[in-house]
Amino acid sequence: MSSWINENGPLLFLALLDGTVTAFVLALIALGLSLVFGVMRIVNIAHGEFFMLGAVFSWFAFDLTDDPLWGFLLALVLAPALVGGIAVFSDRFILRKIKYHPESTIVATIGLLYVIQSLTLIVFGPEARAVEAPLYFRIQFPWFGYSGYKLIVAGMSALGLLGVWLLMIRSKLGLYMRATQQDLEIAKTYGVPTKKIYAAVFALGGGLAALAGVLVVPIRQADHLMGLEPLLLSFIVVIIGGLGSIRGTIVAAFIIGISDGIISVFYEPTLAKMLATLFVAMVLVLKPSGLYGEEVA
Amino acid sequence: MRKKSLIYSLLFQGGILLLLFILQFILPTYHHSSVSKIMVLASYAVAYNFLLGYTGLMSLGHAMFFAAGMYAAGLGIYYLELSALGALLFGAAFTLVISLLFGLFALRTSGVSFLIVTLMFGQTFYLSILYFNEFTFGQDGFSLAKHLGKLVIFNKEYLYSNPDVRYNFALILLTAYLLISTLIMFSPVGRILIAIRENESRTQLLGYNVYYYKLFALVLSGTFSGIAGAMHALLFTYVGTTFAEIHHSISPILWTLLGGAGTVIGPLFGTGIMYYLVDIISGITSNYQLVVGAVLILMIIWFPMGIMGTLRQKWMKWLP
Amino acid sequence: MDEMAAVELLSTHGLTRQYGGLIAVNEVDFKLYPDRIHAIIGPNGAGKTTLVSLICGRTAPSSGRISFKGNDITGLSSAKRVQAGIVYTFQVTSVFSNLSCYENVALSVQRNLRAQQKGTSLLGKWSMVSEADIEQAVSKYLLEVGLEGVEAQIAGTLPYGHQKLLEVAMSLAAGPKLLILDEPTQGLAEAEIENLTQLIQEISKSVNVLLIEHNMEVVFNLADHVTVMDNGSILAEGTPTEIENNHAVQASYLGN
Amino acid sequence: MVKKDLEKVDQASELNLSRRNVLGAGALVAGAGIIGSQMIDPIAGIAHAAGSDAPIKIGFQAHRTGIGALYGRWYERTTNAAVKHINSIGGIAGRPVEIITEDDGTDPKRGADVVEKLATQHKVDFVFGTLFSHVVMGSAPRAGELKIPYFVVSEGYHVASGALNRYVFQPCITDVRAQISAVSGWMFNNLGKNVTIIYPDYAFGYNHRDYASAAAEKHGGKIVAKIAIPPTESSYTRYFVKIPKNTDVIYHVMVGPGVLTFVRELGEHFGPNHPQLFGFIDSLEGVNISSPGLDFLDGSHFWEAMPRYASAADSAGSRFYRNAVGVDNSGASKSDSKDVAAYSHMFGCWETLFAIKEAVEQSGYKSKKDYATLIETMEGFTGFNEGIAHPQGSKAFSGKTHQCYGQQFVSKVGNGKLNVVHKTSIADGMYEPETDYTKQSL
């Protein structure tokens, strides 16, 4: 046993460390998807592209200022705002037009995905572009080193999550959102401006994804195809957590993030991904409500 | 009343198929082969439409069925040295099993959950092709050119990739699919499927066990997609993961909706138009995806019923 | 009790349905005898609709049993119960509004015809019904409810009253042993109510009818037997006259 | 006489090279032909002009979109530069070259369609330029069925492995098996015997895994661990803990957008005292060596097919080529220093076009009916000599495998540059042919 610890202790520790960082970022992205589903009852396939846009914008900010810190701060403010704007636009001119019909929305957002992706390819180009971390240091553990910035990312994601939570329980917007989520019709009768709320929620969802993009881009880099993987992952998270349940989403993000870390350290990664996807499908089949959410069917 | 529309629609489809048959003698080489490809892909779309258009279930994992048929046929030929027909049957049988298993699980969900479950199963299948690459040749895929026997008609040998063989096999497949779906749509079963699409719970309360009918639709749709995949492998002699990727699940949605979900012939038009759109656009700009995306959005906003759907609503009431 | 059970068409035993804290139907022992129109009345939220939902299998009971023609049907799916002959017509019409009236009725007809064929036809379960037979039956039922000639019309475009009739036609076509009519007259004009009342009279000659109704006039015109429900349990039972003179009922429901 | 006119053509086409002018030049050549051969019968003259002096059309299957887009862009630039030069020296067999480009989205199914389109609609003489191996696998069968010569620039082993058909050639870029065999010998002998190999979990990676292991036996080295990473992966830290303590060298071949992350995280993981690093430049094609986070690579070694950074050692041909494709001395675009070239691959397009030129001119190819002779001619080639036509260096060519074998380079990263430290001989990469396409019927 102790020999096993000596052998695999570092692996386990790293898996946990890395998994936690992944989990925080994942939670941020998935939360966006979850809010949108919870309040608007739609699945946004283009969510991953919002994340990608966040990363891309923050490269432009970095390129513009040519200074990691200022570029980062600029992106931190601008990227979510811009992406939020794009979200509002697509809500107003696409989603509202199709009355948020679930299947139609999926088709429309697939279209949105293609449009955003190829426009990015035109403007930004095909290559992956690196962005320097705003502040960078390396932490040396007995067995290996680790990026300090990754820990900062985890921290800032945590702040983001906290922010959303406060928004939900403290602000009027949050109240309206919860009301709309409870029952659209009743919310309307109580004079909740549901159209505005929908726009706001879609913007918030996109903004969160973009924020995650900004935080992550110094760890990995920006490229126009980076959206698909986080999309699938946050699907997994949102489903396991229960569609529409914020608490579930965050819990699930940690389950997935950390287990993914551990599984792919101890098993073949491709196999791990395969089993994980299958597992999610089965969860949805056998417990459609997920951990916390309500039935979607 | 139904009899009349059945005859009309059979005549209408017959006309189009006849046109396709004649076209092969006038089309220039490139379009000749494009149309053969379109007919195979359209068959896939017709199969997909069976689920989306008539039963009202939207799947994001149909590439799994197409690829299952394609790989079963391809690997069957490669390892078991199956004949072309054998491969086709093997592909059909394999997809039948896959879609049955898949249906038993997936149909416990509905709506958005169903959509995501299908997506996830599709991804799993795709990843498993990559994972078992020693056996499936992974991402590169493989060519059947060297392993596929020859087709003998009146003791004359043809390659399956021979343009005329290809064109007419594709045409036969398409004809079969159109005929079968038309007949089903005019049968009591078709009536029930449409009822499920329109109002599932009411159908249940008319005494129908909705689950079994949905399972039937899914297995039929899946198996037909698989046969289309197997046929694609035979006629175009390449088997690869690109046919299992999510994009290949999205395509039939696009084709079906553009042509008109819930119309038998619609998917054919949808496929043809999209194919040539991409073909032409990619000649002009390198960003045909942009156009595809735009089409998707505009269509779902302005044209939710697709081409034939709109036509039916306006003029061709009898269209199945 | 036992010789009673023999003649009961439908009976429930300690039937209960809870929604969280709320008990919608509470330990109900409901008995329905053949060859008469049985009405259930009661204030809103008394549990009438829940009770019939339990009977036709739209909702599962929290506890208790249901038996129909002496067999326990508690475990049967709603579809199976329809096949057994318990047919429910919706309070709010839910015809297939995008389909033609013909299709609406045909859907119901074809199942029934096939069920009859099953025994005779060689193909058994897989036997197909000829469209001609269906067309014949459809027009028969449409005629029966007085909707002749609407076959080609899209159901959704019919006036509300006619949709209700179409609904009834669909139910009749399903070949009911027990027809449950949930608030049939709701939202209908006087004339239409008249017409519908007669229709129900007609139907009741061949089919057992269970009627849930607010309109007392209709109830007292039609019903041979009335069950009064309140807060999820049965308050009183008896002939219309008995009910009218029942003080408890007057107090809780009929007011004045 | 004719020659003189041809020189005129050179000047003409050198000035301006829009398609129309190329055709114009073609007509001029035609004219030259008529005068030159003292044709009397004008009809015949026209026929002659239309026949042999019409432009040679080469279809270019480009990865303009999809995962190959980065490489694709440079392949396209190189191709255009090569055509410009070829036309400026009188085209191919006196006929101007016309390139017709179609995007395949780096997708095998589209790839097959593109080959079809180029061959049957644009009626090109040849198809060339495909890079990604799964696209080649998807497209090659179609080329074989259409019986049109198909020249790929893919560095994949699938051509030499015999998996394709007689119409497919890879005349000017060494396949990955030969590359590995050539340079890994150097690695085992100079960097260390215990090697951990980290490779992407698909075909390209497996070639590295398998042939590096084979080379290990040959050179008394040892592969102590093989770590496969799924192509979709975006964070690598957790794989590094699997690297055994006794590793002397980490052999890495990561490709795709994740590469920078890979290197940065490798740095974070090991810190200053890390094993030797030996990588394949595929990882950093199109990436600036001095990008943020890459400083960790200092002192590590890379395989290069063609040195990205210019040096005094470069041959005249190499210098000419670098200038012609518009790349500066540090391997970036002259017009945009941020735009780094795929320098170890793109030369393949340039050289392949010249290989086609040689084959056409030697076989006396006139039209599609001469395919057989053209293919047999090329199968007769034994190699190419270093020069403007083949700036990467001399090559051996095997008619059996349709594959060429060239010299490889090992470069060391130092002060933000790649400096060549070793140049392999062609023989280092050679292996016994495993197939013989010449036995297939045409």
Domains and CATH numbers, chain D: 55-174+346-405 (3.40.50.2300), 176-304+407-429 (3.40.50.2300)
What is the number of domains present in chain A? Answer: 1
For chain D, give the longest Cα–Cα distance: 83
- Do B142 and D120 lie within an 8 Å CB cutoff? no
- Domain that residue C114 falls in: 94-175
Do B and A make contact via 3 or more CB pairs under 8 A? The reply is: yes
Give alpha helix (H) positions in D16-91.
Answer: 19-36, 42-52, 69-88
Q: Residue A267 CB: number of other CB atoms within 10 A?
A: 11
> pLDDT digit string (tens) for D398-441?
999 999 999 999 999 998 899 999 999 999 889 999 999 999 98
Task: Quickly count helices (H) and strands (E) in chain A.
Answer: 11, 2
Give residue B152's pLDDT: 80
Domain count, chain C: 1
Q: Is D296 helix (H, G, I), strand (E, B) or coil?
A: helix
Amino acid symbol at D235: S
> In the predicted model, what is the mean pLDDT of residues D221-245?
85
Report the residue from B28, B142, B286 with minimal CB separation from D103: B286
D229/D258 Cα distance (integer angstroms): 11
Tell me, yes or no, whether A214 lies in a domain.
yes
Query: Which pLDDT score, from 0 to 100, does residue B5 have?
Result: 81
The shortest C-alpha distance from B31 to chain D (Å) reads 8
What is the average pLDDT score of chain D?
85
| Three-class HEC string of A10-41 | HHHHHHHHHHHHHHHHHHHHHHHHHHHHHHHC
- What does the mean pLDDT of chain C come to? 84
Report the alpha-carbon distance of residue D432 to residue A201 in Å, rounded: 64
- Residue A204 domain boundaries: 2-286
Q: Are there at least 3 beta-carbon pairs closer than 8 Å between A and D?
A: yes
CA distance C68 to C75: 12
Q: Which residue of A has its CA nearest to B56?
A: A103
Q: Given CB atoms, is C154 within the 8 Å cutoff of chain B?
A: no
Residue pLDDT, tens place only, B28-46: 988 999 999 999 999 999 9
ipTM, two decimals, is 0.84
Question: What is the Cα–Cα distance from D415 to D420, expressed in whole angstroms?
Answer: 13
- Mean pLDDT confidence for D84-113: 93
Nearest to D50 by CA among D367, D335, D438: D367
Looking at residue C122, the DSSP 8-state letter turns out to be: T
Give me the residue label for tokens 């609609």. D121
Count how many pairs of residues, chain B against chain D, have C-beta atoms within 8 Å. Answer: 94
pLDDT of residue C130: 80
Residues 64-83 of A with CB under 8 A from D: 68
CATH number at residue A150: 1.10.3470
Which of C110, C171, C172 should we substitute to test contact with B (largest number of B Cβ atoms within 10 Å)? C110
Per-residue pLDDT at B118:
92
Work out whether strand D126-128 and strand D150-151 pair parallel, antiparallel, or are unpaired: parallel
The strand ranges marked E within B98-165 are 142-143, 151-153, 156-158
- Model confidence over C5-64: pLDDT tens digits? 447 889 999 999 988 778 888 889 998 888 889 999 888 878 888 898 899 888 889 999
What distance in Å separates the CA atoms of residue C236 and residue D126, rounded to the nearest whole number?
93
C224 φ/ψ angles, rounded to the nearest 5 degrees? -90, -30
Position A112 scores a pLDDT of: 95
User: Mean pLDDT lowest for which of B102-106, C145-149, D147-151?
Assistant: C145-149
Instruction: State the virtual CA torsion across C127, C130, C131, C135 in degrees, nearest 10.
Output: -110
B293 located within any domain: no
Do the domain assignments include residue A173? Answer: yes
C-alpha span between D338 and A244 (Å, rounded):
44
Quote the tokens at residue C123: 């193909």
Query: How far apart (Å, rounded) are the C-alpha atoms in residues D137 and B141?
Result: 7
Percentage of residues of chain D with pLDDT beyond 70: 88
| Cβ–Cβ contact A10 with D under 8 A | yes
* DSSP SS3 for C46: coil
CB atoms within 10 A of CB D3: 9
Residue C119 in this model has a pLDDT that exceeds 70? no
Which candidate in D74, D132, D206, D268 is best for mutational testing of the A interface (most A CBs within 10 A)? D268
- Chain A's closest residue to B123, CA to CA, is A277
Strand partners, C87: C179
* B268-314 pLDDT per residue, tens: 999 999 999 888 887 777 677 888 899 889 988 988 888 888 888 77
D2 pLDDT above the threshold of 50? no
- pLDDT attached to residue C125: 52
Q: How confident is the model at residue B318 (pLDDT cuts 50, 70, 90)?
A: low
For A41, nearest residue in chain B (alpha carbons): B112
Chains in contact with B, counting 3 or more C-beta pairs less than 8 Å apart as contact:
A, C, D
Map tokens 């078992």 to a residue: B132
Domain that holds residue B146: 25-245
Structure confidence at residue D19 as a pLDDT band (50, 70, 90): very low
* Token representation of residue A284: 């949805």
Q: What angle do CA D150, D153, D157 make, to 5 degrees?
A: 95
- Least confident interval from B158-162, C83-87, C147-151: B158-162
pLDDT digits (tens), chain A, 297 positions: 567 777 777 778 888 888 889 899 999 999 999 999 888 888 899 999 999 999 999 999 998 998 889 999 999 999 999 999 999 999 999 999 999 988 789 889 999 999 999 999 889 888 888 888 888 788 888 888 888 899 999 999 999 999 999 998 888 888 888 888 878 888 888 888 888 999 999 999 999 999 999 999 988 889 888 998 899 888 888 888 877 778 888 899 998 888 877 777 777 777 878 888 888 888 888 877 766 655 443
Report yes or no on A276 lying in a domain: yes
Q: The tokens of A1 are what? A: 């046993």
* Predicted pLDDT of residue B270: 93
Residue D21 has pLDDT above 90, yes or no: no
pTM of the model: 0.87
Q: What is the rounded average pLDDT of the residues C187-193?
A: 86
CA D94 to mean position of chain CA atoms: 25
**Alpha-carbon span B289 to B68, nearest angstrom:** 26
* Residues with Cβ within 8 Å of residue D385, at least 6 apart in sequence: D394
Percent of chain B with pLDDT over 70: 97
Judge contact between A147 and D265, C-beta under 8 A. yes
Whether the predicted pLDDT of B24 surpasses 90: yes
A111 to B293: CB separation less than 8 angstroms, yes or no: yes
Nearest-angstrom CA–CA distance, A27 and B320: 47
* Cβ separation C79–B207 shorter than 8 A: yes
Residue A293 vs residue D47, higher pLDDT: A293
Q: Which residues of D touch B (CB under 8 A)?
A: 64-65, 102-103, 105, 107-110, 112-113, 116-117, 120-121, 133-134, 137-138, 140-142, 144-145, 158, 163-165, 201-203, 206, 230-231
CA separation, residue A153 to residues A134, B203, D296 (Å) = 11, 52, 22
The whole-angstrom separation of Cα D155 and Cα D348 is 9
Residue C154 lies in a domain: yes
Residue C120 pLDDT grade (very low, low, confident, very high; cuts 50, 70, 90): low
Nearest to A223 among D65, D233, D257 (CB): D257
For residue A3, the Cα-to-chain-centroid distance in whole angstroms is 39
| Confidence at C129, pLDDT banded by 50, 70, 90 | confident
DSSP H helices, D96-161, are 108-116, 133-146, 158-161
| CB neighbours of residue A31 within 10 Å | 29
Instruction: Please tell me the distance from the alpha carbon of residue D169 to that of residue D189, in angstroms, as a whole number.
Output: 33
Are A94 and B109 within 8 A, CB to CB?
no
**Minimal Cα–Cα distance from B209 to chain D, Å?**
41
Model pLDDT, residue A212: 96
Largest CA distance in chain C: 63
Model pLDDT, residue D24 = 42
The total domain count for chain B is: 1
Exposed, middle or buried: residue D232 (CB in 10 Å: 0-12, 13-18, 19+)?
Answer: middle
Q: What secondary structure does DSSP assign to A220-264, as a single string?
A: S-B-TTTTHHHHHHHHHHHHHH-TT-HHHHHHHHHHHHHHHHHHH
Residue of higher predicted confidence among B9 and B97: B97
Q: Where are the alpha helices (DSSP H) in B27-110?
A: 29-55, 63-80, 84-106
Read off the tokens for B41. Answer: 């892909």
Contact A146 D269 (CB under 8 A): yes
Span D340-345, average pLDDT: 94
CA B64 to chain centre: 12
* Helices then strands, each counted (H, E), chain C: 10, 11
Q: What percent of chain C has pLDDT over 90?
A: 23
Query: Who contacts A98 (Cβ-Cβ below 8 Å, separation ≥6)?
Result: A104, A105, A108, B300, B301, B304
End-to-end CA distance of chain C: 37
More confident residue, B156 or A61: A61
Residue C248 has pLDDT above 80, yes or no: no
For B305, the closest chain A residue by CA position comes to A104
Q: How far does B185 lie from chain C, in Å, by closest CA?
A: 13
